[in-house]
Amino acid sequence: MQFNKVTDSVVAELRTLLGDANVLIDEEKIEMYSKDEVSDKLWEKMPEVVVKPENAQQVSEVVKLANRELIPITPRGAGSGLAAGAVPLQGGIVLSLEKMNQILDVDTENLFMVCEPGVTTGDVQKTAKEHGLLYAGDPCSADSSFIGGNVATNAGGNKAVKYGVTSRHIYGLEIVMPDGEIVTFGGKNVKDVTGYDIVHLMVGSEGTLGIVTKVWLKLMPLPKYVADLLIPFADMQTAIKVVPKIMTAGIIPTCLEFMDSLSIKSAEMYLNKKLPYGDAGAYVICEVDGTSETQVQDDYETIGKLALENGALEVFVADNMSTQERIWKSRKCYAEAIRMISPVYCMEDIVVPVSNIPKAIEAIERIAAKYECKIPSAGHAGDGNIHCTIMREDRDDHAWHELKYAVLDELYEEVYALGGNLSGEHGIGAKRAQAMDKHMTDAQRKVLVTIKKALDPNGIMNPGKVLVG
Amino acid sequence: MQFNKVTDSVVAELRTLLGDANVLIDEEKIEMYSKDEVSDKLWEKMPEVVVKPENAQQVSEVVKLANRELIPITPRGAGSGLAAGAVPLQGGIVLSLEKMNQILDVDTENLFMVCEPGVTTGDVQKTAKEHGLLYAGDPCSADSSFIGGNVATNAGGNKAVKYGVTSRHIYGLEIVMPDGEIVTFGGKNVKDVTGYDIVHLMVGSEGTLGIVTKVWLKLMPLPKYVADLLIPFADMQTAIKVVPKIMTAGIIPTCLEFMDSLSIKSAEMYLNKKLPYGDAGAYVICEVDGTSETQVQDDYETIGKLALENGALEVFVADNMSTQERIWKSRKCYAEAIRMISPVYCMEDIVVPVSNIPKAIEAIERIAAKYECKIPSAGHAGDGNIHCTIMREDRDDHAWHELKYAVLDELYEEVYALGGNLSGEHGIGAKRAQAMDKHMTDAQRKVLVTIKKALDPNGIMNPGKVLVG
């Protein structure tokens, strides 16, 4: 696709549309919009201009201008993505949703929240809780990520085992389409088959089919009782083999996470304190919740018993908030801990059918040994979703480049052989677009490209993301 | 769209592709494929030919032929639809999935079932149960409907309050696209953001974007304890006002249904027996389930108490299978009972936000009084989904026609004024395509039409359904 540059007259027009304060071109001000959390120069690029619209109408005007002038437009949330999805790799306009950050409605009769895309996931969770309700989307980055970014990537997170990924909670979207039209699909009807399910086509499309400007989120009653289990194991294989057993024990845990020994050690270093059984080979972390104390107790006792019968060293039960927070801190700091130890890294997000989780972990360990590198793993075991991170450590540019691609090639082959896929929740962005393209069939590619071309004939919406440019 | 007729040479080619036994043109054999459960001559039409492919390859060959010859193709499941979605209103080929009726895999490790579209929903439920698992999709027509039809219409049903509609349980589809390509999206990964969510674009698209030839269904642990409550009320308004109260009481019931007095009376006539409190003004039927007996008891006690505090005449608790079946029989026979009393009828399927359920019922009662007709209502109150049926009784053709359209116009206006929509689970088909078109914005229509035209440029896939032809 041949795009045009952002000219002075385009900048002037943007200033007229949005006001001077909402149009940035100074290098020091726009530098932070040139990257996300991928941590790789390859996936960084300075925008030509950054705009901060304050409402859907302004988003629409910017998109119309970009479409008319054939200028690429990259929508951006909090920039906490891990796939370079919000990086303007083909230049043009970065459209930041940071100023559209209002919660518009908390409807306690219908259990809905309506908000703008720039509200942080953490604020959504907190506001729901203040009303005695649960927003069940819970990515580890909740404190910083925007709900719009969660929608764009169909973020998963910790509670997806029981409550599902972000798409499960999204019942309506206002979208600015690539031609600038503002359109709403869905809303507060919990069942609705009136027309195609455009809402869920948009969820996970990473800003390549339109820009979300309003979100209808389903809330649910806050579970009255919650308990968390921290279960250390002597080694990773023993730990991970318990996961499919828990998932077929007749209970749906709210969360079912794991951390390998490298991740535990990294968390200890990052948090600067000893964790219980910090020298364990692996942790399994499990949460159960419900409306009845007895049920929650029954459930965690069933899981605890199963774990002990299958090689757990110990089962710690946390049924109060402060102990629960301590358990989760070690798991939720995974990304930050790794970043501290190896500021350059390559974080992957593979997913396999749950029964193949032990084989996937075996494959990661085999690859790490073969290439003599560190690949700490942690993640959402109950969903078959593994975050495994290749650490650069002290390798030079060339060695790191070689290592990274060799490991990724081999890892992806193993994942596909196990019936898995590239990304469970972080998305494809630019980082995985080539790999996805390689593993798609022609028939799959044709469907995706047909939809992209039909809705965005000029290809201005986040080009090069999801589909190769 | 200008289509061609099915010629002798097309029939001959179909016979070569599928074998003589799988290609029907005899009037008495194809007559049953000319209608569904809508019960209105307006929505009946004889197919030119009926084909019964036995595998995806044969479906693909038929679609390629239809696409080449510009012949409309109407995919058909069990014909239990209520929107004329499976009726070949523009002639051409009816493609029945009845011979693709195999359950291919019950995966008790990953909790998945893989099956062909022609398996009945009842068989899916039964097979899951035999493995100690639950398929939570539960339309009232489960005994006859095909799972492929459930996918095509995104069927709702009784357990959607807690477990969601059909789309929630669908993780993968094999689809024959309108160009005849066979393509698979999704599978046994419970999280997957690798590319656009084509699976959920297809779910609910009523065979207008492709033909589903294989389905990956998510199963879950069978709840150990289930209890049903039958709660009679003196009048409908008292009954329905309890629904939003239950939905905000901190519990997620599995089912939350209602029946008005006309529906109760119809069920008594159809079942030919007295129901408890058969002269009640309304029933609320509620199911709770879970892994713990105490939790289930706590939940139904909370709901029962709430109901009694808000005007319930009585609360019957059924915690064994035979009493539970008796309760559900009265609710599940709604369609058959009405059909027996008034063989010609117009069954609607409106949906509103749950808090507006009392106002929607008020509107239905007001309209019935205004036009002096019977409109029995029942449905999925916990989802805001109301089945209300205009009965023809002994009106002549002209009077029935006048009544039907007057009532529908007024009903739809009321529904939209309440933030609702035309169809919660039965679909748009041909029956509601004009009404949907009338209520869509230009921007919404443009998105839907763009996707339809892009994927089916010749418009052969189920023309005139969902979108006006």
pLDDT tens digits, one per residue of B383-403: 999 999 999 999 999 999 999
pLDDT band of A219, cuts 50, 70, 90: very high
Residue for token pair 């009585």 = B314
Residues linked to residue A49 through DSSP beta bridges, in sequence order:
A93
Using CB atoms, which residue from A184, A221, A421 is nearest to B251?
A221
Instruction: With cut-offs at 50, 70 and 90, classify the pLDDT of residue B319.
Output: confident
Nearest CA in chain B to A385: B191
Q: In this complex, is the C-beta atom of B228 within 8 Å of any C-beta atom belonging to chain A?
A: no
Q: How high is the pLDDT of residue A469? A: 75
Q: What angle do CA A438, A342, A418 make, to 5 degrees?
A: 35
Q: Do A224 and B447 touch (CB under 8 A)?
A: no
| Joined tokens for residue A289 | 């919740």
What average pLDDT score do residues A324-341 get? 90
CB contact A183 to B (< 8 Å): yes
CB pairs under 8 A between A and B: 270
Domains along the sequence of chain B with CATH: 8-96 (3.30.43.10), 103-221 (3.30.465.10), 225-334 (3.30.70.2190), 341-432 (3.30.70.2740)
Residues 350-389 of A with CB under 8 A from B: 351-355, 380, 383-385
Could you say which of B193, B419, B455 has the minimum Cβ distance to residue A423? B193
CA distance B341 to chain A (A): 28
Contacts of A440 in chain B (CB under 8 A): 195
What is the structure's pLDDT at B291? 87
Quick one: three-class SS letters along B280-333?
CCEEEEEEEEECCHHHHHHHHHHHHHHHHHCCECCCEEECCHHHHHHHHHHHHC
Q: Which of B158, B191, B421, B465 is most worth mutating to test chain A (most A CB atoms within 10 A of its CB)?
A: B191
Closest residue of chain A to B174, computed from CA coordinates: A444
| Chain mean pLDDT for chain A | 96
Least Cα distance to A345 among A308, A391, A304, A376 occurs for: A391
A117, A151 in Cβ contact below 8 A?
Answer: yes
A224 touching B (Cβ < 8 Å):
yes
Interface of B with A in 44-83 (CB under 8 A): none
Asked whether residue A357 carries a pLDDT value surpassing 90, the answer given is yes
Sign of the CA dihedral B402, B407, B410, B413? negative
- Among B105, B163, B196, B301, the strongest candidate for a mutation testing the A interface, having the largest count of A CBs within 10 A, is B196
Q: Three-state SS for B88?
A: coil
Q: Does A110 touch chain B (CB under 8 A)?
A: yes
- What confidence score (pLDDT) does residue B432 get? 97
Residue B349's DSSP bridge partners are B387, B423
Angle at B442 (CA atoms; ends B437, B446), nearest 5 degrees: 90
Closest Cα of chain B to A29: distance in Å?
32
CA distances to A97, A305, B334 from B17, in Å: 54, 57, 42
Residue A170 tokens read as 């999204």
State what percent of residues in chain A have pLDDT above 70: 100
Give residue A40's pLDDT. Answer: 87
Query: Model confidence over B200-238: pLDDT tens digits?
Result: 999 999 999 999 999 999 999 999 999 999 999 999 999
A254, two tokens: 């709210």
The pLDDT of residue A65 is 98
The pLDDT, as a whole number, for residue A335 is 87
- What average pLDDT does this structure show over B331-357? 93
Q: What is the pLDDT of residue A39?
A: 83
CB contact under 8 A, B191 and A156: yes
The minimum CA-CA distance between A160 and chain B, rounded to whole Å, is: 9
Tell me how far apart the alpha carbons of residues A463 and A465 are, in angstroms, rounded to a whole number: 6
Q: ∠B284-B290-B292 over CA atoms, to 5°?
A: 125
Residue pair A274/A232 in contact by the 8 Å Cβ criterion? no
pLDDT band of residue A431 (cuts 50, 70, 90) is very high
The reply to whether A111 touches chain B by the CB within 8 Å rule is yes
Q: CA-CA-CA-CA torsion for A218, A222, A227, A232, nearest 10 degrees?
A: 20
Does pLDDT of B369 surpass 80? yes
Check CB contact under 8 Å for B421 and A189: yes
How far is it, in rounded angstroms, from Cα A313 to Cα A173?
47
Tell me which chain B residue has its CA closest to the CA of residue A185: B444
**For residue B362, pLDDT beyond 80:** yes
CB atoms within 10 A of CB A2: 5
> How would residue B150 be classed by pLDDT, with cut points 50, 70 and 90?
very high
Place of tokens 């748009």: B428
According to DSSP, residue A52 is labeled -
CA distance B90 to B3: 8
Instruction: Go through chain A and tell me how many residues it has.
Output: 469
Mean pLDDT of all residues in A145-150: 98
Question: Contact, A421 vs A350, CB < 8 A?
Answer: yes
Closest-CA residue in chain A for B468? A195
SS (H, E, C) B133-166: EECCCECCCCCCCEHHHHHHHCCCECCHHHHCCH
In the predicted model, is pLDDT for residue A320 greater than 90?
no
Contact status of A434 with chain B (Cβ, < 8 Å): no
Q: Rounded to whole angstroms, what are the CA distances from B290 to A296, A396, B222?
A: 11, 55, 9
Q: Does B257 touch chain A (CB under 8 A)?
A: no
pLDDT of residue B39: 83
Q: What is the pLDDT of residues B406-445, one digit of tens each?
A: 999 999 999 999 999 999 999 999 999 999 999 999 999 9
Q: Name chain B contacts of A220, Cβ cutoff 8 Å.
A: 252
- Cα dihedral sign, A343-A348-A349-A352: negative
Judged on CB neighbours under 10 Å (0-12, 13-18, 19+), A166 is: buried
Closest Cα of chain A to B411: distance in Å? Answer: 16
Which position has the token pair 């650490």? A391
Contact A462, A206 (CB under 8 A): yes
pLDDT for the residue numbered B40 = 87
Residues of A in contact with B183 (CB under 8 A): 441, 443-444, 446-447
Tens of pLDDT, residues B450-463: 999 999 999 999 99
pLDDT of residue A321: 86
Q: What is the mean pLDDT of residues A384-389?
A: 96
DSSP E strands in A119-248: the ranges are 133-134, 170-176, 182-186, 211-218, 220-221, 225-233
Q: Is B188's CB within 8 Å of A353's CB?
A: yes
Averaged over B266-289, what is the pLDDT?
94
User: What is the spatial distance between Cα A384 and Cα A432, in angstroms, rounded to a whole number?
Assistant: 19
Strand order in the sheet with A282-290: A316-318, A225-233, A282-290, A255-260, A377-380, A385-391, A345-351
Decide if A355 and B109 are in contact by the 8 Å CB cutoff.
yes
Residue A278, pLDDT score: 92
pLDDT beyond 80 at B1: no
pLDDT in tens, A86-135: 999 999 999 999 999 999 999 999 999 999 999 999 999 999 999 999 99
Q: Chain A partners of B298 at a C-beta cutoff of 8 Å?
A: 291-292
Per-residue pLDDT for A32 more than 80?
yes
Express each pLDDT in A252-308 by its tens digit.
Answer: 999 999 999 999 999 999 999 999 999 999 999 999 999 889 999 999 999 999 999
The pair of structure tokens assigned to B67 is 């696409």
In this structure, are residues A337 and A278 in contact, taking their beta carbons and an 8 Å threshold?
Answer: no
